[in-house]
Structure 1
Amino acid sequence: MTNPLTLRSISAAVGDLGWRYVLGTLRASVPVGSVRQAAEVAARCVTVAGDDADGHLWLDLRHDHVVLTLQTLGAAAVTGRDVELAVRLTGSLRELDLDPAPAGTQLLELAIDALDIAAIRPFWKAIFAYEDEAGWTGGTQAPIVDPLRLGPAVWFQQMDVPRPQRNRIHFDISVPHDQAQARVDAALAAGGVMVSADRAPMFWILADAEGNEACITTWQGRD
């Protein structure tokens, strides 16, 4: 099962398991009580994943949670194998009374608007010491990513004409689809303004009181 699935089918397949589809990955957070327990959870996940661990699974350990991420590395996509692993990992963790949850599964992207993406992309790649995202087929708009997967991805949005009246760098915060509206509401309650909801639930464009923009994005509407 290596062919990419539709985003709707991916989300439906893992929703009841505590996983969420976020920015080309499946992600879940497992609450733990210590770094030792986090390491035990990580070891169990690696054992369950077996030979697929290196090609599909990465983990972020903290003293109070472990973030699990699944993606078919080199394809820049979630495949059926990743969905199968989510099912198996959830079943194994529930045997320990540990339940994966979508809390803490957001991902941050930086978006740079450019008239000539090919001219500026190498600069950002060099200054961040980033690399091309393996498996991406989007040409010059392909994201660049932190090799250690610690920093946010950076992608490039094609401009047709200069826009000196607005910022040309904005933040994209990719969240689980069922948490997006709450995040938008919180931003508005904190003094933000809605610039556009025309493309919601794919994305909402918001701005702070001085006009600096950010987008709340989900997978919905992208199939």
Structure 2
Amino acid sequence: MSTVDAPTIIAAGLDDWRPLVHSLHARFRTGDFATGLDFLVDVGAAAEAANHHPDVNLTYTHVDITLTSHDAGAVTDRDLEMARTISDLAAERGLEADPGRLTRLEIALNAADKDAIGPFWGAVLTGEAQAYDGNQVADPTEQVPLLWFQPTPPRDDVPQMCFHLDIWIPAGQLPARIEAAVAAGGRVVDDSESPSFVVLEDAEGNKACLCTVLDRS
């Protein structure tokens, strides 16, 4: 088992899937609950056979599937193989993927001393102070978005609490998402790190980062 980077994933020809953060994501349109449930029965059998299990979310209209190798903390060869298997199962049922709708949300909080506040946020978000691992608070049940702490020097001229949102999207969606945000009254604050991330703000100065997996170490 070896980890694979974003360019390798993109070159793998997995048209149904997109890399977001440290995982692979796909959405398959099912149209009704029963079709989605039957599809997940197939996916579950394939996962058991491979001993590699995705995270799934079943709704009435679609199924969202996430693949990552938790022991590696990244996407690996076995995730690529499982992605191909799941796409084949979807094709057999005539289900179409909808990669343009994929999004993952993270929250960033400016912190002059993350260790002083991290356990608190672990406790209020998950009920466990130990959910703070020294850099972030991750809810294993994914009921709340990941919260990470951005090192920030103490300053008297900015609010003590300063959140912003990181919205992870497929790399190909970045130009259209920026265009939509600007058309809706926002503006680009900083695109010097594009396509890794672009900072935008709304009409009142509230900021958000549109993030992709491209051009990251």
- Do both proteins adopt the same fold according to a TM-score greater than 0.5, normalized to the shorter chain? yes
* 1:198 has 2:192 as partner: yes
- Give the Å deviation of 1:52: 4.3
1:40 match: 38
One-letter amino acid of the structure 2 residue matched with residue 10 of structure 1: I
Q: Distance in 2 between matches of 1:163 and 1:61?
A: 47
**Among candidates 22, 25, 49, match of residue 23 of structure 2:** 25
SS at match of 1:182: helix
Unaligned runs of 5+ in 1: 134-138
1:50 match: 48
**Among candidates 79, 97, 100, match of residue 97 of structure 2:** 100
Q: Tell me, yes or no, if the aligned pair for 2:107 and 2:164 is still in contact at 8 Å.
A: yes
One-letter amino acid of the structure 2 residue matched with residue 70 of structure 1: L
1:189–1:4 Cα change, 3 Å: same
Q: Tell me, yes or no, if the aligned pair for 1:193 and 1:208 is still in contact at 8 Å.
A: yes
Q: Distance in 2 between matches of 1:108 and 1:60?
A: 16
One-letter amino acid of the structure 2 residue matched with residue 66 of structure 1: V
1:213–1:168 Cα change, 3 Å: same
One-letter amino acid of the structure 2 residue matched with residue 198 of structure 1: S
SS at match of 2:25: strand
- 1:1-223, aligned counterparts within 5 Å? 1=1, 3-16=2-15, 18-52=16-50, 55-129=52-126, 132=131, 140-141=134-135, 143-162=136-155, 164-165=157-158, 168-223=162-217
Q: Tell me, yes or no, if the aligned pair for 2:125 and 2:144 is still in contact at 8 Å.
A: no
Q: Tell me, yes or no, if the aligned pair for 2:14 and 2:83 is still in contact at 8 Å.
A: no
1:15–1:160 Cα change, 3 Å: farther
Q: Tell me, yes or no, if the aligned pair for 2:119 and 2:131 is still in contact at 8 Å.
A: no
1:160–1:56 Cα change, 3 Å: farther
Q: Tell me, yes or no, if the aligned pair for 1:14 and 1:86 is still in contact at 8 Å.
A: no
One-letter amino acid of the structure 2 residue matched with residue 4 of structure 1: T
1:136 match: none
Unaligned runs of 5+ in 2: none
Q: How many residues matched?
A: 214
Relative to the length of structure 2, the TM-score reads 0.91
Q: Summarize deviations over 1:50-87 as a string: whole Å, max 9, x none.
A: 2446x540110000000011011243311111011001
Relative to the length of structure 1, the TM-score reads 0.89
Identity of aligned residues (%): 33
Please give the root-mean-square deviation of Cα atoms over the aligned residues, in Å: 1.9
